[in-house]
Amino acid sequence: MKIPRILLAAGASGSGKTLITCGLLEALVDRGLKTASFKCGPDYIDPMFHSRVIGTKSRNLDTFFTSSEITRYLLARNACGCRIAVMEGVMGYYDGVGGTTSRASAYNLARVTDTPVILIVNSKGMSVSLAAYVKGFLDYKKDSRIRGVILNQMSPMLYPRMKDLLEKETGIPVLGYVPKTEDCVIESRHLGLVLPDEIPKLKDNLRKLAEILEKTLDIDGIIRLADSAPGLDVETEDPVKAYSGSRGCENRSFPECFRLEKPVRIGVARDESFCFFYEDNFRLLREMGAELIFFSPMHDARLPENLDGLLLYGGYPELNGSVLEKNEAMRREIRDRILDGMPCMAECGGFMYLHEEMEGMDGEFYRMAGVIPGRAYRTPRLSRFGYVRLRQRKKVFGTDDLGEIPAHEFHYFDSENCGETFSAVKPESSRSWNCIHGTDTMLAGFPHLYYYGNPKVPAAFLRQCALRRNTAGHSEKQ
């Protein structure tokens, strides 16, 4: 499958990847090019910038969560019909799992998808040393796939000389530069970048940046580089239909073919507090037979009618503790439904909301839904960070054979009652801990799940939702 594509990478976090990616996407859209965008890794916020601010559909691609085949499939499916696909890397280009490998790195994604890479170099404070810096990245892996360079925070006066020097020393093209742009800075927050809706005039500022990049980047050259990407080797049109039952998740099998005979109605919390979503999770749920109905635990007085299950994803409930507490009717209804047996999956912020109390960022404790005994509380540093593999210890959703589940944690909060249904094992490490509350109708804990990583999890959840729908007297409890 022919998909013009590039990956924007950098030597380290904080080099300007997100800002330049957004500016380039804006410039491509302004040219009238239908553009798909992707974020390497388990990031939620950068895709929000891509999709909400720029209007392009954005997804995640993560080679820790999915096999090479499924990663290519997701790229192909989400880029179908687009003129160009732009991927944004994660951390430093070669930085991967465990801090000691290149697994699940931007480099790994480029290799799996055979994508040409543009290396963004923060050139502040460097001149001739830029050549040594770039050559180091080119030579570290012989198949680096780095095919171009963009110089960030580069002086317009110095740029022509640096371009000539770098092209002579490295043999790859310098595709432009980005001058220092004071009014296009994206600030940080405890979970990463601030949300796009919180930055005043961000759209206008990115349009200004796109106008600058039209003058300082070789966008035609970038498009030609994307066009040079080889055809994508996609082994199956729909991996959901191509499950190989003899292989498990660890052996990188395709997702299990699973469809409900009749759809189930799933309530999905979505507002300022609950906003961390993988769009491909939603798609897989719908393909498995779920009808998704969105609601707000902050603003709605009641749950939607005739629900068969609940999904509470992560976000920033700690910023809205007072509002969540004051919506007592919603808290009580969610508690009563879950305790009455309505199937529920909750992760990170959604898990915190299910506690009896949650500490807000203001240091006050607020009453929450009261499903999980105990408190969720703030810690002074990241409590747990990075990829884990979840290994089942107890039965959940009526099964004890879900297999290993790839997951991700990133939170400054912890709980007095994290659960013991799974053990979380750090890759490339001996560290492990117990986590997640699991019952026949609930899976709730800090880890974030990407359903294509192990589709048995959403399938088991939806089976329980269908069972509840079919239970005699269920409709009377709605």
Q: Is 146 left (phi over 0), alpha (psi -120 to 50) or beta?
A: beta
How many Cα atoms occupy the beta-carbon half-sphere of 288 within 13 Å? 28
Q: Which residues of 261-280 are buried (b: 16+ CB within 10 A; e: fewer)?
A: eebbbbbbbbbbbbbbbbeb
Give the single-character DSSP code of 431. Answer: -
Annotated catalytic residue, options 348, 418, 435, 465: 348
Cα–Cα distance for residue pair 450/60, rounded to 1 Å: 10
Cα–Cα distance for residue pair 170/38, rounded to 1 Å: 28
Which of 350, 450, 370 lies closest to 408 in space, CA to CA? 450
Tokens of 434: 């117990």
Give the contacts of 470 (CB within 8 A, at least 6 positions apart): none
H-type alpha helices, 58-141:
68-79, 106-113, 129-140
Residue 348 a catalytic site member: yes
Place of tokens 């290396």: 119
Backbone angles phi, psi at 405, to 5 degrees: -120, 120
State the CB neighbour count (10 A cutoff) for residue 341.
17
| Calculated CA dihedral for residues 195, 199, 202, 205, nearest 10 degrees | -130
Give the contacts of 417 (CB within 8 A, at least 6 positions apart): 355, 372, 373, 374, 437
Measured CA to CA in angstroms, residue 6 lies from 188, 234, 342 at distances of 26, 17, 44
Tokens of 280: 């491909």
Cα–Cα distance for residue pair 146/120, rounded to 1 Å: 10
Rg (CA), the chain: 23
Helix axis angle, 17-30 relative to 219-227, nearest 10°?
A: 90
Cα–Cα distance for residue pair 167/174, rounded to 1 Å: 7
| Amino acid, res. 315 | G
Tell me the sheet residues that pair with 422.
392, 435
What are the residue numbers of the active site? Answer: 348
